[in-house]
Amino acid sequence: MRALRILLVIVVVLGGIFFVVDRVAVYFAESEAEGRVHVTGATIGSTDVSIKGFPFLTQLAGSQLDEVDVEITGIETDANGHRIRISRMNAALHEVKLADGYSSATAARATGSAVISYEDLTKAAGDGVVVEYGGNGKVKVTGTVDILGRPLSRSVLSTVTLVDGHILKVHADKVPGEGIPGLEGLVRRRTDFEREVGGLPSGLKLQKIQPTADGLEISVTGTDVQLDG
């Protein structure tokens, strides 16, 4: 019995040591990954990486991680002369295969969400245009047009949609003053716009967009998502 108790104590101690070593390894791996994340064709602010699953060391030995959660803040891209910023993006990456000495990886599938704030959307819309939440899944766009030499401010409620999975389109449902020759065209030239949303890892696609009080919420999905460090 005494020998059995000693054996149990040894097992518990070794198990505790393994757990600590495993968690320390995860911590260092997450810190290293955060410093190496980059997105081709974009600048990013900060990143946070969380590696799920236990034990980590056996996953690392097999060069495949069960799940890696990534949060990137401030993804900025420039497309067609217009700069747009994704305020925040979260992604859960599953079955992540490591390659090239852990310098690159491929996730079999991924799900997540991205947010574009109205402040960032306003900056992307153009000079003199302000974008706000309009309620009921709409955005409110305000722009100034010139009528007979006088500036005239107009606000419209607009629908936001995704075109071809990567272009954000803002289109006014109705323009005040419709019927006045030329007015609708002038207003729409200020309030209707399209912007390409880039800066996503290869294989990750925009799926659905929904205006909320906190910004434009976009769901993202992907398969064979390529990650380079």
What is the tens place of the pLDDT at every residue in 14-31? 455 555 666 666 767 777
What is the tens place of the pLDDT at every residue in 156-212? 899 999 888 788 899 988 887 656 667 777 888 888 888 888 767 777 888 889 999
- Looking up tokens 């609708």 gives 184
State the burial class of residue 159 (Cβ atoms within 10 Å of its Cβ: 0-12, 13-18, 19+): middle
pLDDT value at residue 133: 94
pLDDT value at residue 58: 81
pLDDT value at residue 8: 53
What is the rounded CA–CA span in Å between residue 205 and residue 197? Answer: 10
Residue (of 180, 101, 112, 189) closest to 148 by Cα position: 180
Q: Could you give the strand order of the β-sheet that contains 82-99, starting from the edge strand earlier in sequence? A: 42-52, 64-79, 82-99, 104-116, 215-228, 204-212
Q: Average pLDDT, stretch 121-146?
A: 87
Token duo for residue 158: 């607009």
What is the tens place of the pLDDT at every residue in 74-118? 888 776 667 888 888 888 988 888 877 666 778 889 998 989 999
pLDDT value at residue 9: 47
Buried b (16+ CB within 10 A) or exposed e, 187-220: bbebbbbebbbbbbbebbbbeebebeeebbebeb
pTM: predicted TM-score of the whole model, two decimal places: 0.79
Task: Determine which of 36-45, 121-130, 156-165, 182-191 has the lowest per-residue pLDDT on average.
Answer: 36-45
What is the rounded CA–CA span in Å between residue 190 and residue 96? Answer: 44
